[in-house]
Structure 1
Amino acid sequence: MTSAAPASVTIRPATLEDIPTIIELAEATWEPTYRFIISREQIEYMYRVIYTPVSLQRQIAEEGHTFLLLYADGHPAGYASFSRQPTHEALYKLHKIYLLPSHQGQGLGHHLIQAVEEATSQLGGHTLELNVNRYNPAIAFYERQGFQRHQEVDIPIGPYWMHDYVMRKELR
C-alpha cells in the first residue's frame, strides 16, 4: 500500500558528503527490491561491493557517476545515478534508481527518470540505457517511461550472475 503523494518533491545532485544518505536509502531499498529475484547471499555480496563508502566515493570521484537525491516533503526518499559511457559520447547509462518502498507508486520514479534525462540531454546525451534483471517487475515501469528492451546479457559479479535486459530510450 502506498501513501499519498508528497506535497513537495526536490531533486538535487549528491556530493561526497551525501554518501551516508545514499547508504541509508540503499539499506532500506535493496533487500525489498531483490529478495524475490536473487538469493540473500547474492544480495549481501552485491551490496558489499556497490555500497561501501569507499565504493561510492570511487563511483563519484573516479568513475564519473552523478548521483541525484530525491527529497519528498524535505526527507530523502530515493536516488539515481548515471554516467556517460566511455565507448560512445552520446550514450549514458542509468546505473541506479531506487525509491523507499513507502514512496513507490506516487510518480516519484518518473520524476527521477525525468531528472536523469534532462541532465544527460544537457550533457549532450542522445540515448539512455539501463540494465534490469529479467525477473524484476520494474521492467514494466521502465517500459512506461519509454525504455525498450535492446538485448539480453548475462554478467558475472563475483561468484554470481546477473541475468539482465539492457533497455534503451532515445532522448529528444
Structure 2
Amino acid sequence: MLTIRKASTDDCNFINTLASIAFPATYRDILSPQQLDYMMEWMYAPHRIEKQMTEEGHVYFIAYLNGEACGYLSVQPQENAIFHLQKIYVLPSFQKKGIGQFLFEQAVRYIKEIHPEPCLMELNVNRNNKAVYFYERMGMKKLREGDFDIGNGYYMNDYIMGLELWN
C-alpha cells in the first residue's frame, strides 16, 4: 500500500539519507562524481533542507510502500501563481511500481489544495535525464531551456517543463 506524509524539519537527516541513495543513482551517468558531490551538499545537506523548509517555502513529502520509505518530493511556491516541483525522486529499488506517478499526483493535489485558482506547476529536469519522458506522460510540456550556474564552475543544463493546473 502506498502512503505519503508531509515532512517536518525533524526529517531533514532522513531526507538527506533518501537523497544519498536516489540522487546519485539518477545522475551517475549524466554528471561527474565531483558535481554529484557538490550538488548533494548544495541541495541535500540537512542544514540546507532545513533552510529550504523554514526560509524558502519548500514543502517536502515522503512516500512509503508498505511502510518502507520509497521516495520524496518537494514543492515551492514561486510568484504569480507559479509553483515549482523542486524535487521528485523514487529510490532505485522501488522504481517501476507507479511511485513516481503517485508522487507527481501528490504534488498536483497539494498545489490545488493551497491554491484553488488556476496556476502553473514548473520543474527543472536535466536535458539528458530519461525522466523527461515521464514528465511528458504526466502532461507536462517543455516551456524553455537554460544552463544555470550553480557555483563551483558547475551548471544545471535543464529543460523547464510546465503543467497548467485547474480545479
- The TM-score, its normalising length taken from structure 2, stands at 0.95
Asked if 2 retains the 8 angstrom alpha-carbon contact of 1:21 and 1:76, the reply is no
Q: 2:2: which partner in 1?
A: 9
Q: SS where residue 121 of structure 2 aligns? A: strand
Structure 2 counterpart of 1:143, which letter?
Answer: E
Q: 1:152: which partner in 2?
A: 145
Q: State the identity %.
A: 40
Q: 2:89: which partner in 1?
A: 98
Q: 1:58: which partner in 2?
A: 51
Q: 1:114: which partner in 2?
A: 105
CA deviation map 1:120-153 (0-9, x unaligned): 0111162100000000000000001111000011
- Paired residues in the alignment total 163
Q: SS where residue 135 of structure 1 aligns? A: coil
Structure 2 counterpart of 1:163, which letter?
Answer: N
Alignment of 1:153-172 (within 5 A): 153-158=146-151, 159-172=153-166
CA deviation map 1:55-81 (0-9, x unaligned): 010000110100010011101110000
Alignment of 1:38-57 (within 5 A): 38-57=31-50
- The TM-score, its normalising length taken from structure 1, stands at 0.92
Instruction: Find out whether 1:126 has 2:149 as its counterpart.
Output: no
CA deviation map 1:18-60 (0-9, x unaligned): 1121111101111110011111111110111111111010000
Find the aligned partners of 2:93 and 2:165 in 1 and give their Cα distance.
30
Q: SS where residue 143 of structure 1 aligns? A: helix
Find the partner of 1:73 among 57, 66, 73. 66
Q: Extract unaligned runs of 5+ from structure 2.
A: none
Find the aligned partners of 2:17 and 2:41 in 1 and give their Cα distance.
13
Q: What do you get for the CA RMSD once the two structures are aligned? A: 0.9
Find the aligned partners of 1:150 and 1:16 in 2 and give their Cα distance.
33
Structure 2 counterpart of 1:142, which letter?
Answer: Y
Structure 1 counterpart of 2:102, which letter?
Answer: H
Q: Extract unaligned runs of 5+ from structure 1.
A: 1-7
After the TM superposition, list the runs of 4 or more consecutive aligned residues in structure 1 that deviate by more than 2 angstroms.
none
Q: SS where residue 93 of structure 1 aligns? A: strand
